[in-house]
Amino acid sequence: MTAEFEGIAETLLVILAVTCIVQVIFTGLLLWYVRRLGETLRDARAPAPESAPREPAAVPRPLPSVPEKEEAGPAQPLDARPVEILEGSTDIQGSIQRLCEKYSLSDIIITTMDGLVVVSRYPGSSEEAARFSDLYRRRRKPDSPGVTFLEIAHRGEAMLAILKSDRPLTAGESKEIGEDSRKILNWWL
């Protein structure tokens, strides 16, 4: 009977040890989640970069020290090339490729405001996305030539489009790029 009792006691001790380990892991995850939730709420309470209400439509917002596009010289008018960005694309990557062709962009990266890549023309853009979104959040101008920031909305979430072009973009082109970007996001996501 004693051997039987010892076997049961050992089994119960193993179960208790495993239960304690699982409880420690879940407690750690809960603390991590609460900390992230607190950071998210703190960021949500922070004033908007320009202390203006966010508009649901794509509206290019000038940054404090960025010169106006007209100062950089007259922009070349966009060729009126009809490029279908949604129909015929097999995936979101194809639509982004067509968007770049339509507006003669060398690249476009769409990220969340905290720098997570949603879609990009080229793979491996996560480092650039994190760097540029950090600059945007701190209201700094792009540190690379030909880069333009454009805030767009998707399903109530503010997102950042990082546009790369060899020529200055007009306000009208930026607005159209924002609208087409929203169409792509709504179509595929």
* Residue 106 shares a structural domain with residue 73: yes
CA distances from 122 to 107, 129, 146 (A): 8, 12, 17
* Residue 89 shares a structural domain with residue 125: yes
Domain enclosing residue 123, as ranges: 69-188
Query: What percent of the chain has pLDDT above 90?
Result: 46
| Residue 63 included in any domain | no
* Residue 79 shares a structural domain with residue 159: yes
Query: What percent of the chain has pLDDT above 70?
Result: 79
What pLDDT does 95 receive? 93
pLDDT band at 31 (very low <50, low <70, confident <90, very high): confident
Q: Is the pLDDT of residue 108 over 50?
A: yes
Task: Give the C-alpha separation, 172 to 154, whole Å.
Answer: 20
Task: Give the C-alpha separation, 61 to 114, whole Å.
Answer: 18
pLDDT, tens only, 149-161: 999 999 989 999 9
pTM listed for this prediction: 0.57
Query: Taking residues 82-95, what's their average pLDDT?
Result: 87
* Residue 167 shares a structural domain with residue 99: yes
